[in-house]
């Protein structure tokens, strides 16, 4: 080898060592950067004629196990899906309370049962009536609050869908931009390792939002699709759009109550699954509505069962005015049978006036209202909301009603039930249940006794016995016995006490939350293991890079020394010939 060839070999060695050191230094500097893969250099021997004359850097590459990447992408979707479900259910379970916390809806029903039991012993106590009404208000407020919590979570999920769609669009646009840069760099023979790392990170972001399929074309473009085959990125990024509903109520459901998620203007809501968006859709449209159904079943059954008892009773002393809670129209067909009794009684329950009405003689609601209004000393009418109002014309007398064997309407309920007279609760769901407004304001209006059904009852007789607590006792019995519940949410047909059914709702949500948390922890572990495996194969090993830098420094020093020696030899030769 002549001196020039040796000098060239030393020079190329210096250049390559410098380039390799730069790559190793970059690896060390980016060791903690998410998605960064370790870069390695490939060298080519320079040949002149038939002799090796030096070395050159042919490429900078990185090794990535695509099978691991694909597994990690799938695991990432599962990880965010399970974690999103767990977060929402844990929050709802916390709002419902635990079965041993004494703050659940079941505990409030038990408190109501206890207050009623105390009243049954001393039904004439106004303070105990107050405690019963306050406990009933507490139950209704609790159901209202839980319903509001469920709907707020649905609203939060709905808003999060809008936010996540925006984040997804940003990641898709980033993949599209990186596709352009990568294909151009490949065409120019330039290194694309860092660009591919960035694109891989963007793909992970997409997978967090949605379960996807993808492949890389021969030109280096990454094409991404939904699991059902809709393109998200191909030759361009496709745009999703969604606008949250804002306020969400228990009656809102997909598709009538919420907008569609669109992809390039086409509805794709039902075609999206997995990831954060899939979890949010499932929570908003299935999981949370099912829990709302359970709360509604409890509220509706509570209203129906309790009112069925109180509708048979009367306040003691009787109220001067009774106002129904159910709206009726004067022209409504009554379809009535049997007999009802109306009486005016004084504060001691002594009858002033008593009239029995045969419902079969009245065709419409208006006919019956007119007949009641025709009773001496009684006024009756339908108010602006269609509610029956029955009043005593004498302020010293109260109005008492006994349903007797009456039946009205298509459901064939007693006449007090038909009009909602002496109801404790109003509403039909967890969202709408309330304690009757006038009762909430005046607890002495609570029905605790019963107007006598004696066929010989007449003026001067005792119509309501002093200390009559028959309705309070019936309510106490109701809360201690099982009632039938139709299937709702995740709960099947069952027979249980009101408090026990409430406990089953709390337990159902707690079980769902616990299961979701366990699944999230498992998915987390799978994703972490895959990420660690990928990092071990493709990430930066600081020990190896440090050792490589040390070896390259020695290589650089050797080439530098060789170059220096050859330069000195050139100088010696020049001196010899000059």
Q: Give yes or no: residues 172 and 241 share one domain.
A: yes
Is position 260 within any domain? yes
Is position 185 within any domain? yes
Instruction: Write down the pTM of the prediction.
Output: 0.86
Is position 30 within any domain? yes
Q: Give yes or no: residues 25 and 73 share one domain.
A: no
Domain boundary among 242, 275, 292: 292
Is position 508 within any domain? no
Is position 428 within any domain? no
Could you give the angle at the alpha carbon of 541 between the alpha carbons of 535 and 544, nearest 5°? 150
Q: Give yes or no: residues 78 and 209 share one domain.
A: yes
Contact present, 257 and 263 (Cβ < 8 Å): no
Q: Give yes or no: residues 81 and 191 share one domain.
A: yes
Name the residue range of residue 266's domain. Answer: 68-85+153-292
Is position 499 within any domain? no
Q: HEC profile for 234-283? A: CCCECCEECCCCCCCCCCCCCCCCCCCCEECCEECHHHCCCHHHHHHHHH
Q: Give yes or no: residues 54 and 181 share one domain.
A: no
Q: Give yes or no: residues 173 and 246 share one domain.
A: yes
CA distances to 15, 145, 370, 555, 565 from 10, rounded to whole Å, are 9, 80, 118, 10, 10
Q: Give yes or no: residues 34 and 79 share one domain.
A: no
Is position 199 within any domain? yes
**Cβ within 8 Å of residue 383, ≥6 positions away:** 323, 389
The total domain count for the chain is 2
Which position has the token pair 């361009």?
236
Q: Give yes or no: residues 278 and 161 share one domain.
A: yes
Task: Give the chain's radius of gyration (CA, Å).
Answer: 40
Residue 350's DSSP bridge partners are 462
Q: Give yes or no: residues 220 and 77 share one domain.
A: yes
Return per-residue pLDDT of the chain as tens, 578 residues.
466 666 666 666 566 666 656 655 665 666 566 666 655 655 566 666 566 655 655 555 555 677 888 999 999 999 999 999 999 999 999 999 876 666 899 999 999 999 999 999 999 999 999 999 999 999 999 999 999 999 999 999 999 999 999 999 999 999 999 999 999 988 888 888 888 888 989 999 999 999 999 999 989 999 999 999 999 999 999 999 999 998 999 999 998 889 999 999 999 999 999 999 999 999 999 999 999 999 999 999 999 999 999 999 999 999 999 999 999 999 999 999 999 999 999 999 999 999 999 999 999 999 999 999 999 999 999 999 999 999 999 999 999 999 999 999 988 999 999 999 999 999 999 999 999 999 999 999 999 999 999 999 999 999 999 889 999 999 999 999 999 999 999 999 999 999 999 999 999 999 999 999 999 999 999 999 988 776 666 655 555 556 665 665 666 666 677 666 777 676 676 767 76
Domain boundary among 292, 312, 344: 292
Is position 534 within any domain? no
Q: Give yes or no: residues 163 and 42 share one domain.
A: no
Domain boundary among 268, 292, 316: 292
Contact present, 58 and 190 (Cβ < 8 Å): no
């Amino acid at each position: 080898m002549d001196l020039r060839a040796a000098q060239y070999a030393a020079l190329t060695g210096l250049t390559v060592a410098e380039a390799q050191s730069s790559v190793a230094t970059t690896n060390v500097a980016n060791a903690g950067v998410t998605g960064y893969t370790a870069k390695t250099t490939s060298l080519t021997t320079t040949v002149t004629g038939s002799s090796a004359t030096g070395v050159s850097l042919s490429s900078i590459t990185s090794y990535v196990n695509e099978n691991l990447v694909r597994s990690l992408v799938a695991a990432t979707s599962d990880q965010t899906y399970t974690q999103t479900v767990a977060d929402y259910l844990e929050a709802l379970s916390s709002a419902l309370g635990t079965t041993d916390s004494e703050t659940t809806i079941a505990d409030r029903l038990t408190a109501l049962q206890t207050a009623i039991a105390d009243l049954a012993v001393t039904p004439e106590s106004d303070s105990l009536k107050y405690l019963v009404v306050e406990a009933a208000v507490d139950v209704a407020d609790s159901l209202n609050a839980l319903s509001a919590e469920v709907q707020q979570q649905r609203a939060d999920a709905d808003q999060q869908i809008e936010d996540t769609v925006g984040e997804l669009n940003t990641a898709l646009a980033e993949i599209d931009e990186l596709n352009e840069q990568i294909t151009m760099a490949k065409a120019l023979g330039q290194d694309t390792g860092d660009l591919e790392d960035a694109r891989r990170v963007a793909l992970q972001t997409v997978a967090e939002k949605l379960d996807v399929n993808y492949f890389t074309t021969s030109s280096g473009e990454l094409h991404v699709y939904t699991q059902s085959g809709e393109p998200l990125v191909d030759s361009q990024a496709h745009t999703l759009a969604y606008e949250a509903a804002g306020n969400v109520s228990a009656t809102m459901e997909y598709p009538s109550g919420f907008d569609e998620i669109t992809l390039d203007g086409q509805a794709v809501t039902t075609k999206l699954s997995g990831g954060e968006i899939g979890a949010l859709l499932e929570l908003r449209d299935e999981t949370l509505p099912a829990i709302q159904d359970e709360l509604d079943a409890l509220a509706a059954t509570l209203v129906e069962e309790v009112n069925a008892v109180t509708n048979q009773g009367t306040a003691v002393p009787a109220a001067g005015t009774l106002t129904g809670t159910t709206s009726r129209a004067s022209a409504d067909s009554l379809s009535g049978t049997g007999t009802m009794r109306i009486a005016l009684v004084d504060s001691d329950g002594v009858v002033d006036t008593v009239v029995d009405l045969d419902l079969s003689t009245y065709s419409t609601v208006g006919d019956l209202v007119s007949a009641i209004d025709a009773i001496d000393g009684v006024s009756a009418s339908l108010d602006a909301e269609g509610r029956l109002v029955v009043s005593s014309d004498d302020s010293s007398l109260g109005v008492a009603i006994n349903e007797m064997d009456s039946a009205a309407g298509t459901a064939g309920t007693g006449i007090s039930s038909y009009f909602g007279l002496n109801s404790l609760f109003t509403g039909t769901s967890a969202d709408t249940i309330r304690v009757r407004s006038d009762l909430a304001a005046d607890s002495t209006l609570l029905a605790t006794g019963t107007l006598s059904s004696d066929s010989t009852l007449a003026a001067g007789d005792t119509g309501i016995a002093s200390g009559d607590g028959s309705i309070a006792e019936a309510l106490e019995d109701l809360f201690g016995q099982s009632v039938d519940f139709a299937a709702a949410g995740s709960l099947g047909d069952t027979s249980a006490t009101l408090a026990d059914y409430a406990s089953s709702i709390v337990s159902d949500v707690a079980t769902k939350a616990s299961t979701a948390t366990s699944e999230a922890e498992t998915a987390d572990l799978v994703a972490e293991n895959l990420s660690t495996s990928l990092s071990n194969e493709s990430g930066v090993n600081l020990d190896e890079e440090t050792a490589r830098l040390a070896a390259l420094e020695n290589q650089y020093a050797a080439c530098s020394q060789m170059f220096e020696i050859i330069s000195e030899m050139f100088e010696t030769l020049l001196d010899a010939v000059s």
